[in-house]
Amino acid sequence: MKKIIILQHNGFFTQHLKEYQNIDMSLVCSELENAGYEFEFLEYKHLADYHYKVDDSAIYWTGSHQNISVKHYISDVLTTRFIGRNNLVPALDTVLAHENKGVMGMLAAEKALPFVAQNYHISSVENPSLTKFPFVFKALGGAGSKGVSLIHDRKLLLKSLRTTTFLEASVREMREGVKNRLRKWLNRKKQADYLMQQARFCEQAFIPNLSSDYKVLVFWDKVYVLKRGVREGDFRASGSGQFEVQHTIDSTLAELAMECREKLNTPYCSLDFVTLESGNYQLIEFQTCHFGPYTQISAVCFYQSSNCYKIETSHLPFEVVLSRSFLKYLERA
């Protein structure tokens, strides 16, 4: 039996209902103990130690973090230690897609997921290359529809580019922006263009006339679904708080979600689906290492082995469902 090494940042593994609220690790530990696994905790900063040697016979289990600096640090450490290795769960590529919708869209194409067509761009406010409207503009990070807007024309595009450039700029980049104005006056346009601040964003095809989307959580072979209504006068559902608990689950959606989980090579995942006019479901977003548990916690039924089961009295805690799916993944044939 492989040893499990649980990675943490200051004791934080992954989110519960609030992004800053850690899941109950004592429940996770009980599940691993009951299954007879040896496990230990390791801080990312120790994984980053110059003398640290990765134990190739162990499984490293990672969550993530929504604090941008911490997220960058985790991505650096995991990329360096696990590129070319296959003992990180969830897999490194999907961990890099957390808080980065650009990586997410490209990865979705690499893995042939049923994802709404999306391009990853970098552009300055002065020189936006996009000319085809409408489309959905997505900043790389954020949740609850923050940074997601519908772009009808060049004016709206410039507004989103300006906001994204400003929000992502470091003090050093802002200083560079001021210097750039000087450079232009001093006839150093080439250098100014080279150093000009840029915004990274996604351009996703707009699916019109949606009144809701589906948040689907997959834990190995168990599927939970929550329907989320679009806000009034808006096209966005995420963060609306208009939840419709599902009393039955469409088997087409559940089977598609399980296929996506398999393609993502992860024990569990969170998938946001929209419905096309054809009736087909398509993904607009996915997460593996860090996602909210509300869909599982509020569910009154789940889908498994072609059946929809009612949850009567004993609702399993999120941590237990998460850990059991992780163990099933380890024990897969």
Binding site for ligand ADP (CB under 6 A): 116, 136, 138, 142-146, 148, 204-207, 210, 213, 230, 235-238, 272, 274, 284-285
Distance CA 270, CA 255 (A): 14
Distance CA 157, CA 155 (A): 5
Quote the least distance from Cβ 150 to Mg ion, whole Å: 15
Query: Closest CB to ligand ADP among 72 and 144?
Result: 144
Query: Closest CB to ligand ADP among 88 and 216?
Result: 216
Q: Is 288 helix (H, G, I), strand (E, B) or coil?
A: coil
Query: Closest CB to ligand ADP among 19 and 24?
Result: 19
Query: Closest CB to Mg ion among 93 and 285?
Result: 285
Query: Closest CB to Mg ion among 30 and 212?
Result: 212
Quote the least distance from Cβ 45 to Mg ion, whole Å: 30
User: Which positions ≥6 away from 33 have C-beta within 8 Å?
Assistant: none
Residue 272 near Mg ion by CB under 5 A: yes
How do strand 118-123 and strand 212-219 relate by DSSP bridges? unpaired
Question: Which of the residues 9 through 28 are near Mg ion (CB under 5 A)?
Answer: none
Which residues are registered as beta bridge partners of 285? 272
Contact call for residues 39 and 55 (beta carbons, < 8 A): no
Q: What does 327 interact with, of ligand ADP, Mg ion, none (CB < 5 to 8 A by kind)? A: none
Q: Which two tokens stand for residue 8?
A: 């943490």
Distances (CA, A) of 196 to 14, 121, 168, 299: 36, 15, 13, 48
End-to-end CA distance of the chain: give it in Å, rounded.
Answer: 14
How do strand 199-204 and strand 118-123 relate by DSSP bridges? antiparallel
Q: What does 324 interact with, of ligand ADP, Mg ion, none (CB < 5 to 8 A by kind)? A: none
Q: Which two tokens stand for residue 202?
A: 């996604």
Q: What does 224 interact with, of ligand ADP, Mg ion, none (CB < 5 to 8 A by kind)? A: none
Quote the least distance from Cβ 168 to ligand ADP, whole Å: 16
The contact mask relative to Mg ion for 183-222 (x = CB under 5 A, - = no) is ----------------------------------------
Query: Closest CB to ligand ADP among 77 and 230?
Result: 230
Query: Closest CB to ligand ADP among 118 and 323?
Result: 118
Answer for which of 15, 164, 197, 238 binds Mg ion (CB under 5 A) is 238
User: Which positions ≥6 away from 125 have C-beta within 8 Å?
Assistant: 158, 161, 162, 165, 197, 199
Residue 31 near Mg ion by CB under 5 A: no
Contact call for residues 81 and 51 (beta carbons, < 8 A): no
Quote the least distance from Cβ 147 to ligand ADP, whole Å: 7
Q: What does 122 interact with, of ligand ADP, Mg ion, none (CB < 5 to 8 A by kind)? A: none
Distance CA 140, CA 250 (A): 30
Length of the chain: 333
Quote the least distance from Cβ 235 to ligand ADP, whole Å: 5
Contacts to Mg ion by CB under 5 A:
238, 272, 285
